[in-house]
Structure 1
């Protein structure tokens, strides 16, 4: 943490831009969950994933500006309000998940969850109580992209999708329940911002194209990395009907794990017009080129 924060570019960013942190699997180890087995990995002298996670959580909270929550010390999920136009709901898709596995459970259980029961109750309550025009859900992981726990074997769900393109199962059940709740509660103008995969894309989730259809359409914007290897693109899982509206990722000829010097580093910008309340999302590259732009009109509550 200290080494990275002394980098002149990070110092420059922190001088001009506030940062709201979420944590990632790499705070601990790649694709960290209870099923992570480090017994044969010589890079780690400590093999207990729970010990590593506890150390990582302590470092994360010591080095980032996250408000202390007395009811749950170390909690990452929270809401940041920006007046009448915007509230941002930061999720934690790492701390409460069941172990990574095939993701084919037929019922919601602690093993099949990714948000956990208490975080889900909090999110539903806060979304329902929000009077903001736009409700941004900042999620660790994309909803409809397949992220394998074992990329070599293309096995196991690391994110939400299990890759079967079928009805909701495993972690998809919890997300299906949330999307159904948002629809039935009349919650409007939700937009998902996410990362994890190392490229940038815009997705439109269309119930008419989905296996699970009990939700209202919504957008998801993916952007990253800021300074890491570029990978992708990932395959879609059609459980929630994602439509690809834009993508910038390595080509087959370029290969994978491209260095930042290759130029495929990405970030996003979101602006809300105070008069029209329209929300504009722009996907950008490291040279500040605008790659994609879309303006969303707010649904006015009855």
Structure 2
């Protein structure tokens, strides 16, 4: 195997630990240590005004090295030495590069230094640091990758929606959860209802629902064998969050996987602990920078934008308890953090990144519910009580320009919430925009719970449930554009080709 072939195979996840390679000489075979390889590309996460997190993975123990430059030629560089990447973290690691100018395009170059001094071939990328003055901002969001048995289809050129998103040249990408589908195995082919055949690239880790740590890790590795995904990761700073399929469908703390699902390990808490470890290893975020050492955090992106990233999974109560007089979807500490953060924010626009929609009814069986909504049209109950606390506090604190973004339900929609239509009226009207899926079965639309007065101003959903990604019309991503001069915010809901399906303009200070 030539070195070029070896590196290509490693990038595809086909070679995991090529520690030694044989090479011939006139005196007979000799053993030399192979150069380390960046197996799954690079990624950028959680940018700040002076830098960002850079993530990578090595196939052998090696030190992560990152160089940054203002130019593609790398004529002048800043060098950052990261951690030793070892099997303890599945070869993954990250480093925060800092001390960079605000509001600028940064070129970065990643390589690995092996234990014997051998270095990897470099991988390059770009990102933008957050501005410190008003400037144009483009943020994309969506969720749901490789779900319902639809993985990487080589006949389509892989997950092309990531190339369509990259073409929008965004500053940020908010991945709203279901980054993987750990509970969805992949077959080599899926025969669709109309007789067409969807074909998958397969992998051992995707042969069955993930239960072990290595299987969870393998789900992330699988997605990053897609060329479109890796190229997107290298060029767009991400803000990632999780939802249920990072662990198992509809999970909640203390839950048990149904016996008919065929799991050997049925404790959702045990599965979640393994999935959390894999998520934090493979995603470009640092749990030490989260408020609770897990996920929820604030991303400040200049005077026009702050993003409040929620965790609506780790603190929720049982799905069958969502009709009680009160309930938990954020938990008391996160609820207070969000209220205080929105109150104290000086940014013009406050985006709340929610991994579950507020008013969409998502059943879990016949009597349980996945999200805040519980199909009771009256006053807030169950998890709605915490949402009501947040909405009331926004009004009481006179916080303006709060927009909610979410995914989860596998269709795209624009929801306007108004107290004039609501059973609960102690809040100001606001917008929630839904997008997805990125590469999964499309569903919907779902009914809306009237408690907070939602109106579906726009909905784009497939005519049949579990419509495959062959129908690009029903794969979606959303786009937020903020004008640096007027501070006007425009939301575009787009399909997998980038076509605009719906637009909504919002002026600052009016909502």
Q: TM-score range by the shorter chain?
A: over 0.9
Of 186, 189, 213, 2:401 maps to 189
Which whole-Å CA distance do the structure 1 matches of 2:385 and 2:434 have between them? 22
Match of 2:429 among 203, 209, 217: 217
Alignment of 1:37-52 (within 5 A): 37-52=256-271
Residue 120 of structure 1 deviates from its aligned partner by 1.0
Q: Retained in 1: the 8 A contact 2:481–2:489?
A: yes
Equivalent position SS for 2:351: strand
The aligned residue for residue 469 of structure 2 is: 260
CA contact (8 A) 1:102 1:162 kept: no
Larger radius of gyration: 2
Per the alignment, residue 36 of structure 2 pairs with none
Structure 1 position 166 matched with structure 2 position 378: yes
- Give me the whole-angstrom Cα distance separating, in 2, the residues matched to 1:149 and 1:256: 16
Quote how far apart the aligned CAs of 1:128 are.
1.2
Displaced runs of 4+ in structure 1, greater than 2 A? 34-39, 67-74
| Residue 175 of structure 1: how far off its partner (Å) | 0.3
Q: Distance in 1 between matches of 2:497 and 2:237?
A: 21
Per-residue deviation, residues 195-237 of structure 1 (Å, max 9, x unmatched): 1100000000011000001000000000000000000100010
The answer to whether the Cα contact below 8 Å between 1:106 and 1:170 also exists between their aligned partners in 2 is: yes
How is 1:20-35 mapped onto 2 (pairs within 5 angstroms)? 20-34=239-253
Identify which range, 168-177 or 14-23, moves more after superposition: 14-23
Aligned pair count?
Answer: 291
8 Å CA contact retained: 1:198, 1:224: yes
1:288 aligns with 2:498: yes
1:53 aligns with 2:266: no
Which of the numbers 286, 299, 302 marks the counterpart of 2:509?
A: 299
Distance change (3 Å), C-alpha of 1:63 and 1:73: farther
Q: 3-state DSSP class of the match of 2:431?
A: strand
How far residue 15 of structure 1 moved from its aligned partner, in angstroms, is 2.6
Residue 37 of structure 1 deviates from its aligned partner by 2.8
* Structure 2 unmatched ranges of 5 or more: 1-219
Superposition RMSD in Å: 1.6
Alignment pair present for 1:19 and 2:229: no
Q: CA offsets per residue over residues 38-59 of structure 1, 9 Å max, x none?
A: 2513531211111101000000
Q: Give the corresponding residue for 1:270.
A: 480
SS of residue matched to 2:239: coil
Deviation string 1:37-86 (CA, Å, 9 cap, x unpaired) is: 32513531211111101000000001112223278664100000011000
> Scaled by the length of structure 2, what TM-score is found?
0.55
**How far apart, CA to CA, are the structure 1 residues paired with 2:310 and 2:289?**
18
1:121 matched to 2:336: yes
Partner Cα separation in structure 2 for residue 167 and residue 42 of structure 1 = 35
Instruction: Identify which range, 209-218 or 72-81, moves more after superposition.
Output: 72-81
**C-alpha distance in structure 1 between counterparts of 2:479 and 2:259, whole Å:** 42
Matched, 1:199 2:411: yes
| Alignment partner of 1:238 is 2:450 | yes
